[in-house]
A and B are shown apart, each in its own frame.
Chain A
Amino acid sequence: MRITRQRVLEDLRAMFGADSISVDEDARRDHDSDNSGYAKAFGVFDAPMPICILNVASTEGVARALKYCCEHGVSVIPRTGGTSYEKLLTAVNDETIVIDASGMNKILKVDTQNMMATGQCGVPLKTLEDLLQREGYTTGHSPQSQPVAHLGGLVATRSIGQFSTLYGGIEDLVCGLEAVLPTGEVIRIRNVPRRASGPDLRHLFIGSEGGLAFITEVTMKIFTYYPNDFWKGAYVVPNLNVGFKAIRDIMAAGYKPSVVRLYDKWDFDYNYGSIELKDGEALMFFVAEGPPAIAKATGAGIEAIARSAGARSVGVQPVEHWLVHRNDLCNKFKTEESRAEYREKKVFYSTNEISASWTDIGIIYDNVIRAVSEKVDTLVGVGGHVSHCYQNGTNIYFVYAFKVKSPQTFSQEHQKIIDIICEEVLKMETGGCVHHHGMGKQRIKFAPKEHGSSYLLMKGIKSMMDPKGIMNPGVLVTRDQRP
């Protein structure tokens, strides 16, 4: 017989004490933070309400909670900073509790000899970064959510930072971790620099979206920080394709700037507007960092390739403006100000990040812009920018704004645009429809196409690690393929 919500509450109160349990209605309604923020601004809450929010302060507490939930078939949403989108945190059934470990916020160790830092899952990245920078180090990890995100979620979402072209994504930065499996076992992956003892088990957890385990502790690499030796350069290119080619040439030549960005006009005007771009033009800018000689040489290499591609230098001001304002969006995260703006303007702005090879990316960009413009009659604008580059390709962060017909239809209207973008991307051989936000529940329907024949591996991993299917149902595998 299925356990009742009331029974779950009573049991958890007995196990953890009433003070650890929140049944506050507003907190439960808003359990997924800024997800569906537009609808929430109008008082429309269409997700099931979790039974409660259980606040835990230790790995042992997480283990006890998960063991209980596994035994009784209670769904769990792991949460720390609560800053993810893609409905990653959104409940999909009535038998869900949120386990919030944001109280596990201790920085456990900073090891400057071995260049690693260890923190609990609830450590805010900004706290760690500020501490390191005071000592002359950096995590190198700077997603736009840096002011508000926590370590556990950053690993679970397979996040990436604005300086990733040099430092790498979170998958390149994690040394080891501790996690709790759905059945309650605590596992630890040690901080070994590299091992060839079978497949890399860290990757079972990095990007697991809370669907395989609860990450409780993370050890990351740290780097020496050279903030006074940044090289910066900004260029206007006649069109985006010129920018794609220039950046491809820079990467293929072996240069590794920390920041690479290429904006089309709509995206740049909407979000920054610090210089004037003509129709069709794009803005490309870079930051190179590291030991002074390396930063200087990287900068010189970028300058030469950019100019030979026909780019026009516009100085460093656009870069400096971006460096100051790049995380301003976090100031509006989950604020009444942003919700008041939704109610007034009835316009919603969002993003979808994708990736592809150099030969496919320009085609994808053109196809997505055309398809979204043609198919969405309430569209205010669509554009995109490059922000993370690799030897073999790049991402595009598509951005769009649309007038919302009604709060009740908001989810469907938004999903329509997401679907258009993903469908266009997946038409291309190297198109990946999720670059770094996680699939969540918003893009999960595309999981079979995204993974192709390897999708059976994802299903197998989910089934093996979460046999009862309690961990964040709705992520990693489509709902008809849950265990």
Chain B
Amino acid sequence: MCAGGADLSSARKMIDTHDEASLEMALRLRDAAAKEGNEISLTALTVGDCESRFAKGLFALGYETIVNIPCHEDLTFRPERVAAAICNYVTAGAEIDVLLTGQQSSIGGNAATACLIAERLGIPCISNVIDMEYRGGTIRSTAQIDSGFRSAVVSVPAVYSVGNAVHPYLRIATLQKMLASAGRVVTRVAAGDCSPRMGEARLRRLRTTKSERKCQFITGETVEEKIAVLWENFIKPTGTV
């Protein structure tokens, strides 16, 4: 620890697990489309920092474009700003049919970004996506819901928020592909106006709710005595045994 919180300066940066799953999911859709003779063009977009080794790896895997929207403020707990920056990019002319996001990050995760993007763009949002299938020119997604799974074909454009995916790991590019894609450059795009829109929910106040628990110590000289007290006073009266 250091002043201001945990010292993460030595921690190796990694792509968040849900983001990793969504990157892999996009590649699988592309591969499936290619088998049918169709082409899917992939763009990876990141808001904030963009590690060059991640970008190199994604170019090598076949992402045609990598967009970075730099942002120097702390975006933890600011899904509305992230969503706004992404929507500004989309509405500026990027032709996006399918927008995949990670469900939530491991730090400051709120699972709100995808929904806010969809709300701003006025398109459907499917949450908790665990798998997607490309077949016959359509995309069928499978999402985890409280009572099980739901599979649906949704007309594009749509936002898919990828959670605990069936295929969670991003494939790895060979050295030859890395060398072949050397020199590719990340496109930097300004964030634009990220201020909240009219009607968008804004956090005004946080307060804690009291949740007291009652605790009683069971006393007794021996373990047997304590068990007897526990049985007589707490378990037997409930009639559950």
Contact = CB atoms under 8 A, between A and B. Distances in A.
Interface in B143-200: 167-169, 171-176, 178
A403 interface: yes
Contacts of A273: 12-13
A223 B151 CA distance: 64
Contacts of A321: 10
A76 interface: no
B53 interface: yes
B12 to A, nearest CB: 4
A378 B174 contact: yes
B169 A344 contact: yes
Q: B interface, how many residues as a size bin?
A: 10 to 19
A273 B52 CA distance: 13
Contacts of A379: 174-176
B11 interface: yes
Interface string A292-323: 00000000000000000000000001101100
B240 interface: no
Contact of B11 (A274, A318, A382): A274
B10 A380 contact: no
Contacts of A317: 9-10
Given A269-B53, A344-B167, A345-B169, A380 B174 contact: yes
Contact of B175 (A274, A275, A341, A382): A382
Interface string A372-391: 01000111111000000000
Give the one of A341, A345, A378, A379 with max B CB within 10 A: A345
Contacts of B175: 373, 379-382
A401 interface: yes
Nearest to B9: A317
Given A269-B53, A344-B167, A344-B168, A274 B173 contact: no
A347 interface: yes
A42 interface: no
B120 to A, nearest CB: 34
B12 A403 contact: no
Nearest to B177: A380
Given A344-B167, A344-B168, A275 B174 contact: no
B172 A275 contact: no
Contacts of B171: 345-346
B108 to A, nearest CB: 22
Contact of A380 (B9, B167, B172): B172
A350 to B, nearest CB: 15
A381 B173 CA distance: 9
Nearest to A345: B169
Interface in B31-87: 53
A380 B13 contact: no
A402 to B, nearest CB: 8
A345 B169 CA distance: 6
Contacts of B53: 269
Contacts of A274: 10-12
Nearest to B57: A380
A378 B177 CA distance: 10
B1 to A, nearest CB: 14
Contacts of B13: 273
B11 A345 contact: no
Interface of B: 9-13, 53, 167-169, 171-176, 178
Closest 8 CB pairs of A and B: A273-B12, A274-B10, A321-B10, A344-B169, A379-B175, A345-B169, A347-B172, A317-B10
29 contacts: A269-B53, A272-B12, A273-B13, A274-B11, A274-B12, A275-B10, A317-B9, A317-B10, A318-B10, A321-B10, A344-B167, A344-B168, A344-B169, A345-B169, A345-B171, A345-B172, A346-B171, A377-B176, A378-B174, A379-B174, A379-B176, A380-B172, A380-B173, A380-B174, A381-B175, A381-B178, A382-B175, A403-B172, A403-B174
